[in-house]
Structure 1
Amino acid sequence: MMRLTLPRALLVAAGALLLAYAFAIAPTTSGGPEDRRTEPVANAEPRVVAESAPSPSPVPAVAVFPPDDKAFVGVMTEKGPHDFAALDTFTAAAAHQPQVMLFSSGWATDEFDRTLFDRISSRGMLPMLGWEPWDYRVDQQARKQKTLPARQVDRIRSNQPAYRLSRIANGDFDSYLRSWADGIRSLGYPVAIRFAHEMNGDWYPWCEKANGNRPGDYVKAWRHVHDLFQAAGATNVTWVWSPNARWNKSTGHLADYYPGDDYVDWVGATGYYGTGVFTNYWSFDEIFGPTMTELGRFTSKPMVITETGASDASGRKAEWIRETFRTLPRHRNIIGLIWFEVDKELDWRIASSPAVAAAFAQSVADPRYRFSWSPEMRPRLDVGHP
């Protein structure tokens, strides 16, 4: 048996230390990635982060159009975005930049044209398309016959079987509709569409009381157009349903023509002082009151006066304008008014006289109407709630 001398004992101890180093320490400090272990070391102190990550910035709220306690003032001219001369005259007379421009387009002749929408939006106005399923040239030809009574003109222009509501609902115009849906989606900013307005009358081909249409056809046609736009991804549309202001029982029950809250964003109404049954002086509330009362029975959607104007046949045009703008704030559900700045049959323009222009300018100088539209704003969908 070998004796364990002091030198040999030192040699054995050194060997043991080398073995301990090889099996315990060396694997943690050398070798390739496959040799680096991920197990936590016992009793290891947690890693201290020198600087905490910055808190995320709050997302800014999207502005609503129109803002709280505001109402917009819009305009419709004869040539719309094709020629801004009348718009410039209106803006100067009103001393006010309108926030909305309404313009018409007929299905028989008009294809989607991005330029028209861009011209309006670049002027700081929400484009509102008055989309009309008919051939408006029939109306133009009838009006040229000066001897024809007005009701005869209505019967001629409303008789267009090619544009019956059932044909729209059945998909006969779907390729045309898709071209517009794709175009409007590509704009990338909000657009309002007032489709087939004044449906409760009998003077357009899309009225249920004309053109061989049947009860219920209007709602079917509206929903078909709306659903096609939704399917195409054109969700930047504010849908504006706009009957004519009621004046007697012959204008029908508005609820019969209403597509439903799921298909409508704003409700509207058309009404003028100085024509038809409103030839004598009727105040704003007398013209629009019955319609607003009836609308309130089946919807609480925001309301827009989508077409209005006043003639000066009895010399009270300026008075009607002042009274109208004093009245509007009492109707919290009304979020806007569009003035018909056209000399057609009667001169509805505020530029018709200095006194009328002054009355309008003084009325819209109220802070309630002073704000700007921008493409980043989203439409107000509830009255009094952003």
Structure 2
Amino acid sequence: MRLTVPRVLMVLIGALLFIGAFAIAPTTTSGGREDGPSDRLAKAESGAAVTAEAKAVATAAPAAPPRPAAELFPPAGKAFIGVMTEKGPHDFTATNMFTAAAKHQPQVMLFSSGWASDKFDRTLFDRIRGRGMLPMLGWEPWNYKVDQAARKEKLPARKIDKIRSNQPAYRLSHITRGDFDPYLRSWAEGIKSLGYPVAIRFAHEMNGDWYPWSEATNANRPGEYVKAWRHVHDLFRAAGVSNVIWVWSPNARWSTTTANLAGLYPGDDYVDWVGATGYYGTGAFSNYRSFDEIFKPTITEIRTFTSKPMVITETGASDANGRKAEWIKQTFQMLSRHKDIIGLIWFEVDKELDWRIVSSPAVAKAFAKGVAAPRYQVTWPPAMLPRTELKD
């Protein structure tokens, strides 16, 4: 074929058209489907979302570390020292004197309240809390004015016991059948509203015969103490109260006839701390008897049916034999061997006998030296949870 100018121009024009067709043709997916405008927009938005998410992750604040577990009271290896005075949170004069003599801030205050006349009073609990002490309520189902009247007559001790223990309105069966339920609910709601822990030592020294809630008095029957305790506990639980430390506290055994504490124990589901009350210098313990001689038989018996932490809920010493300071010194030495005892409450009252540590400089010095040990150096912030198991 002879090339002419027109033919050359036609070939060039055709080549340009062929190249242009490839330049403007739409792209296809790997499956051969063409990406239309909506597909390309979706891909662009997806890419933008991934980029935005990556930026958000890169700029987000670091995750908060897990909250530490609440500290237990008392901490492991520690024990608290508490105090009970005649006027309790109504007047802190005696507490101030005790603190100065002991050179130690007590971490718990025990005070009593009788069902016959005492209504819930938030102020009393807040006053104790405000001084850095855990409130422990000694809650007593009786009319304590009967006891006060008998004492004013200066009757013999056993005669007073017989009079005050005979109060039919406060029989254990009356508690269980609900006679006091409205009263109990008012206290449950009040304690619930506090928002910080409160220990309740309900119907203490139940193994004696000097209170109307003892099964040995007031026409009470075997088994009724546990039923009454559980009734009170269950009422609080039904009211949604979760800030109570339930303290079960018999009297220290004073003879071989005062055993069978297991029959008076409500059970671990109903108790947080177990306790014991005992004094040197009165009754069966008038002659010198060490802390272990007074308390160990009771502790040994309690350990046959529960391993709950133990508190000496009341103790004191008289100086009738001139050995009060010696007894205190020896008590702190023995306490160090009882790892299951997480607290001790001193009865700082001049009643019948002078149990106070301020009774003499020698006694105060012995007590101050004992509580200066590292084991008792602990504070009570309300945010702490009670130690309810020794293994905690």
TM-score, shorter chain, exceeding 0.5: yes
Aligned to 2:5: none
Aligned to 2:357: 350
How does 1:59-98 map onto structure 2 within 5 Å? 59-98=67-106
Aligned to 2:299: 292
Aligned to 2:141: 133
How does 1:162-241 map onto structure 2 within 5 Å? 162-241=169-248
How does 1:1-386 map onto structure 2 within 5 Å? 25-27=36-38, 48-49=54-55, 51=58, 53=60, 54-146=62-154, 148-383=155-390, 385-386=391-392
User: Any idea what SS the aligned residue of 1:249 has?
Assistant: coil
Q: Deviations over 1:100-144 (max 9, x none)?
A: 000000001111111111100110000000000000000001111
Q: For residue 55 of structure 1, report the CA deviation from its aligned partner.
A: 3.4
1:239, 1:306 → 2: CA distance?
12
Q: Deviations over 1:167-201 (max 9, x none)?
A: 11111111111111111111111110000000000
The letter for the 1-side match of 2:204 is: H
The letter for the 2-side match of 1:121 is: R
Q: Give the gaps of 5 or more residues in structure 1.
A: 1-5, 31-35
2:222, 2:388 → 1: CA distance?
28
Structure 1's 45 and 376: CA in aligned 2 closer, same or farther, altered over 3 A? closer
Q: Deviations over 1:281-340 (max 9, x none)?
A: 000000001101101111111100000000000100000000000100101111110000
User: Any idea what SS the aligned residue of 1:251 has?
Assistant: coil
Structure 1's 51 and 102: CA in aligned 2 closer, same or farther, altered over 3 A? same
The normalised TM-score by structure 1 is 0.89
Q: Give the gaps of 5 or more residues in structure 2.
A: 1-12, 28-33
Q: For residue 152 of structure 1, report the CA deviation from its aligned partner.
A: 1.1
Q: For residue 25 of structure 1, report the CA deviation from its aligned partner.
A: 4.0
The letter for the 2-side match of 1:137 is: K
Structure 1's 47 and 302: CA in aligned 2 closer, same or farther, altered over 3 A? closer
2:283, 2:52 → 1: CA distance?
85
1:299, 1:235 → 2: CA distance?
22
1:271, 1:46 → 2: CA distance?
72
Structure 1's 52 and 200: CA in aligned 2 closer, same or farther, altered over 3 A? same
2:110, 2:129 → 1: CA distance?
12
Q: Number of matched residues?
A: 373
The normalised TM-score by structure 2 is 0.88
Q: For residue 59 of structure 1, report the CA deviation from its aligned partner.
A: 1.3
Aligned to 1:33: none
Q: For residue 362 of structure 1, report the CA deviation from its aligned partner.
A: 0.9
1:173, 1:79 → 2: CA distance?
26
2:44, 2:250 → 1: CA distance?
72
